[in-house]
Every structure is written in C-alpha cells, then in structure tokens.
Chain A
Amino acid sequence: MSTTHMSVPTSPSSIRYDHALEAEITRLSTAITQVSELRSMYRPRWLAIQLLEGDEQLLAEVQSLPAAEAVLRTLDASSAHLRELFGEDVDVLLTDQRYSFVNSLARDVLTHPAERRRTLSEKIDRVVTNRVLSIPIFLALMWIVFKVTTDVVSPFVDWIDGVITGPFTNWVVALVGVVGLSGTWFESLLVDGVIAGVGGVLVFVPVLMSLYLALAILEDSGYMARAAFVMDRLMHTLGLHGKSFLPMIVGFGCTVPAIYATRTLDNEKDRILTGLLVPFMSCSARLPVYILLAAIFFPEHAGLVIFGLYLLGIVTAVLLGFLLKHTLFKSQTHVPFIMELPPYRVPTLKAIWKQMWERTASFVQKAWTVIMVASVVLWFLMAIPLRGSGTFANTELDNSAFAMVSRSIAPVFAPLGFGNWEATGSLVTGFVAKEVIISTTAQIYAMDAAAVETEAATFAGELAAIATSFVDATVETLKAIPLIIGINLFPEEAEAEPSSLMIAMRDNFAASSGGHGALAALAFMVFVLLYTPCMVATAAARHEFGNKWMWVSIVGQLVLAWVAALVVFQGGLLLGLG
C-alpha cells in the first residue's frame, strides 16, 4: 500500500489532500462545473469529495440528472485510479487525511505542559496493571475476598443455623402437631427433608452475600476490568485467546452465563475451548461446600484452603487450555484486541446493594425451587427401604434406596479416600446443582441423628433469643474484620463446640480414608471443584456447542476431577500428610 502525504495549509478552512487525490478531486470538480443543475446547488469541490467518499444520497441525485453522465464516468474513473494507486477505498484515504490534518493542526496550535500530568486512574494503573505486580495484586485481593467469606461472616452462618435448627424447626413441629400429624412421615418430610435440605443451604446466605459484596465492589470500582486485562495478557502470553478470561471472570459467579459469554469469541475453536475451561472457575455455588468442609477439617486455615481451591481452578483452566490449544485446538488465529479500561471510581452504595441483592435473591430462589424439589425427592429415596425389616419412613438410613444406590457407586471413590455411600450420594446429587451437595449432606446426617430433646421455650423467649444471638453475631463479625489483615484486637476466645453434623462428617471421612480424614476431605473438595458444575451448565454447553462437546465436557471433567483427587489423596499419603 502506498503512503499518502498531506501538507497543513496556512488557512484551516481549506484542506489540501495528497497530490494524487487533489488531481482527481479537481478533475471531478471540473466535470461537475459543466452541469448547471449541480453547479447551482453545490460547491463543486465539496460535491466531488462527497461523491468520491460514496455518499449514496448525492450519488442518486446525480444519477437522476441526464446531463450528469460525464460526471458519473469521471467519478468511476477517478475512484478506480485512486484504488489502484493506493490499494484502499477512496473514502478511507480521504478520512485518513482529514484525521492527519486535524492531528497536525491540533499539535501546532495546542500547547501541552512539558510533562503530562497523569490522572489518578493512570497512577493506580501503573501499579495495578504493572507486569510484575499485577498478578500478586490480583491474588492478594482474592485472598482478602476469601478471608471475608470464611472468617468474617461465620458468626452470621452460625446464627442462621441456630435459628433454622432451633426455633424455626420447633415452630414447624408445633404447627404439625396442631394439625394432628405429629410423629408421622409428613413431619419427617418437613423436618428431615425440606428444613434440613433447604435450611442447610440457606445457612450459607451470609457467605454468598459477602462474596457478592466483594465482587460488586471490585466490579463497580473498575478493578475487575483490570483483572480481566491482566489475565488476558497472561493468557495471550501462553498462546491462548486473550479474550478467554472475560467469560472466566463471569464464571466466578455462575458457570451458565459464563458459557454464554464465550460468544464474544469469534473463532469456533477458541469458543469451544473456552467453554470447556470455564467450568473450572469455581462458581459461587461451590463455596458453601468448601466452607463446610474447611471449617470441619482445616478450622485454622479455612481461608487459605478455599483460596487455594480457587487458584487451583484458574491454574487448571490455564494449563489445560495451554495443552489443548497446542494439540486438539491448534489454530493460527491471532486476534489482537484493545480493551477500554474505565476510570476508577468510588463504588456507589446503591449499585453495590443492587448487585448483591439480585445475586443473593437468585441464590435464595434456587434454594426454594431446585433445592427444595431435590430435597423432597431425596427424602423419599431415603425413606424407602430396600433391605432389612424397616417400613416406609421408618427404616435404617443404611438400608434405604438412596444408600443402596450410592453404595454401589462408592467403590469408584475408594482410592480417593471418600468411598463411603454418604459422600458418593452427595456427589451424585451434586450433578443437579452444587448446593445440593450441602442439602444432601445435611439431610443424610439429620435423618441419621437421634432426636435431641430440647428445652421447652416460649415463642416470645425464642424470638428474644434470636434477637440476642443476632446482636452477638454482629459483634463477633465486627471483631473479626481486623483479622483479615492479621490483627487480633481481642483476646482469644474458646473454640465453639463442633455441631453434630461436623462430628459425623469428620468421623465418616476418617472411617473411609483409614484415619486420613483431612486428606480425604481435601480430595473431596478438589473433586467438587473440577467435576461437572450443574445440570443447567450442561444444558448450556449442549445449547452452545452441541451434544458432542457437552459429553466431552462432562466426561473430561469427571476424569480430571477423579485423577486430581487421586493425586491429592494418594500423593498426600505418600508424603506422609494428613
């Protein structure tokens, strides 16, 4: 392509184009001047430029004039000549030269300070998007987010748990008694099925709220765009499509929209590859599972374990992507792009609240729909005896249909340290949604637990207890905030007694792993991180990539999850850990 040149005229009102362009403009202007209808209505030079630029309205006007035949012939000849000369459309040449003219003019007339003053956003970006510092900053922020979700809000988790398993369950039992169904299977369905299942998930609402709060602050402040930019740069360096990380960031919230977000990638191979990697970004539904297990097995380092799991998801996605991009998804596409980084701003309370509320509402809605249905179905499966002398809703859990089916699959997980039917059953139901792992676990241990006699309390007394415990939880949360940065302003308090669910799970994992419960629990969390996110994500993958890739995704994730959990458990045993 030839390079054009244009000189800045002394008068800003007349732009002088490149010599060749000027010659054609003059030629066409002369032809226009010969047509009186055109000459009387337009300035010939202006009309010539408009016609060369392809103004359709003016061209139609000229075409309607029989006398303008020569103008059209000249226009065709000039356009063809210029295209041949410059290898580019004439309108591009003209616009290009106008931009050059304006730029030169601005440079001549504007005086800039010798050293350009950087905006606050630019100053922050020099650090935040710095090649060396950007990744550690990203990791540090992730660390803070998980410290908040694990340590800071845990008093509220305990508070909701106390309300649901205490006063709320008592009220439901009392109501069932009023209608004369006390001690029947219906009471068990409500208490051990719906309340244990849905309640077991709702307990984690404060955790999810804190996660959504942190994500909203990061998004609204403008940092998330920087995180995407920084990670895109890393992905690009590894040979992956830079834009892959945008859907992955969405995946931290939910895998389903993340799969749809792969539409921003144009190349089909890149899209499918990103669609296969997105499920490894740990979605918010998995967080309650990590919180529960980390609190039981790693109470001192829960934040670190959860941070490690999120990091493992990112590393798995990047490494697998690198491997696949250089083998099955080999393509030469190099699609550079630019990203607009919005200026930093102080997040508004309204925007943060809106995001946090909408996301939490979506989680709660899921609890009342998908998880409630799953809990009811599961209760029936747990109530039906397949062996022994039990009857419907009055059978040993070990003899139930759910236990029998889960037990038949359990050997698959034995090398991973969690080959018991309880863990296997929760992983199977976890295909529906990851929260169902929690509801299943809560139901299994609720059905299994012996009824505990509680002190009779009045309704007013229970309401007062709820209010008092809420105040206690708020105080505990405020006290925990300085712990994020490792400052403990308050004297150490005695550890809370573990709940019956925690004790039962600890014993169960210890039994299935030959006394290496913590290692087995870690392997279980790694499996939860890497296997199929949920039924809806699977449907989204089918919708976007077709049946073949949906199955590749399901099977691939299962195999990878199994191998990774095996490495964690068996590797840990070999190293003498756990």
Chain B
Amino acid sequence: MLQQVLREFEHAREPLNLRDLAHKLGVERSALEGMIDYWIRKGRLKDDSAQTVCSSCGSGSACGSEPQGCPFVGKMPRTISLVTPDEAPVSR
C-alpha cells in the first residue's frame, strides 16, 4: 500500500488531486493522508504548504518582518510532492 502511494507519485504525468488518488488506490482519503504523512516523516515526500512564503509585501524586506503577513497572499492549496535525489539547494 505504502509503496503504491510512492509509485503513483513517481509515475504521475500531471498534478493529482488527493481525492482522486484515494479513489484510484481504493482507500479511504483519511487512510491515504496517513500514508502520505508517514512518507513525509520518512523524508520521501514533502508538504510544500509547510514552506514559508515570505510575509513581506511592499517593503522589500526579509521574511517575517511583517508579523501579520502580506494581505495579498491568499490561502494556498496544500501540495505534496516527491523528494527527488537531484533536488538542488536553493542559493541566495
């Protein structure tokens, strides 16, 4: 089951919808979420919505300088992606 989830990520040709993936695998959505969380803990998948989107807005300053955040950053849908071995570190 767990391996099948990873395989679906590896073989996906386009973005998937969490609900559709649960249907495809024939599992409850909550069970799929549990499996995804497991792979996130193992470092094989990552939850991109956990990444910080800089809160600066209009000031050009660094992240976190405006505690209330930028009003233009709406609720981003949660996305989960495969951790690839060739992921290049982001240089600043």
Contact = CB atoms under 8 A, between A and B. Distances in A.
B2 A99 contact: yes
Contact of B53 (A95, A260, A341): A260
Given A260-B56, A336-B81, A106 B28 contact: yes
Given A96-B3, A539-B60, A355 B71 contact: yes
Residue in A88, A232, A335, A337 with the greatest tally of chain B CB atoms within 10 Å: A337
A1 B4 CA distance: 12
Interface in B67-92: 70-82, 84, 86-92
A254 B72 contact: yes
Given A261-B53, A335-B84, A219 B73 contact: no
A326 B36 CA distance: 32
A266 B88 CA distance: 7
Interface in A89-131: 89, 92, 95-96, 99-100, 102-103, 106-107, 122, 125, 129
B82 A335 contact: yes
Interface in A325-350: 333, 335-342
A257 B63 CA distance: 10
Contacts of B34: 99
B28 A264 contact: no
Contact of B87 (A88, A256, A266): A266
Contacts of B26: 103, 107
Given A103-B27, A246-B79, A264-B53, A338 B1 contact: no
Given A246-B79, A268-B91, A338 B21 contact: yes
Contact of A268 (B3, B51, B62, B90): B90
B63 A338 contact: no
Contact of A236 (B11, B14, B35, B78): B14
Contacts of A540: 56, 60
B32 to A, nearest CB: 9
A423 B77 CA distance: 41
Contact of B70 (A100, A236, A257, A337): A257
Contacts of B75: 219, 224-225
A361 B72 CA distance: 11
A430 interface: no
Contact of B10 (A102, A336, A339, A341): A336
B58 A536 contact: yes
Contact of A260 (B1, B10, B12, B63): B63
Nearest to A268: B88
Contacts of A129: 17
A267 interface: yes
B80 A337 contact: yes
B91 to A, nearest CB: 6
A16 interface: no
A375 B51 CA distance: 38
Contacts of B49: 264
Nearest to B14: A236
A264 B1 contact: no
A229 interface: yes
B59 A263 contact: no
A233 B3 CA distance: 24
Contacts of B79: 243, 246, 264, 337-340
Contact of A362 (B1, B58, B78): B58
Interface of A: 1, 88-89, 92, 95-96, 99-100, 102-103, 106-107, 122, 125, 129, 215, 219, 224-225, 228-229, 232-233, 236-237, 242-243, 246, 249-250, 253-254, 256-257, 260-261, 263-264, 266-269, 271, 284, 333, 335-342, 355, 358-359, 361-362, 366, 535-536, 539-540, 543-544, 546
Ranked 9 nearest A-B pairs via Cβ: A260-B54, A253-B72, A336-B12, A337-B81, A539-B60, A358-B71, A225-B77, A96-B2, A254-B72
Given A99-B34, A338-B36, A362-B71, 18 more contacts: A103-B27, A125-B17, A224-B74, A233-B14, A236-B13, A242-B15, A250-B73, A260-B53, A260-B56, A264-B51, A266-B87, A336-B11, A336-B81, A337-B12, A338-B17, A339-B77, A339-B78, A341-B18
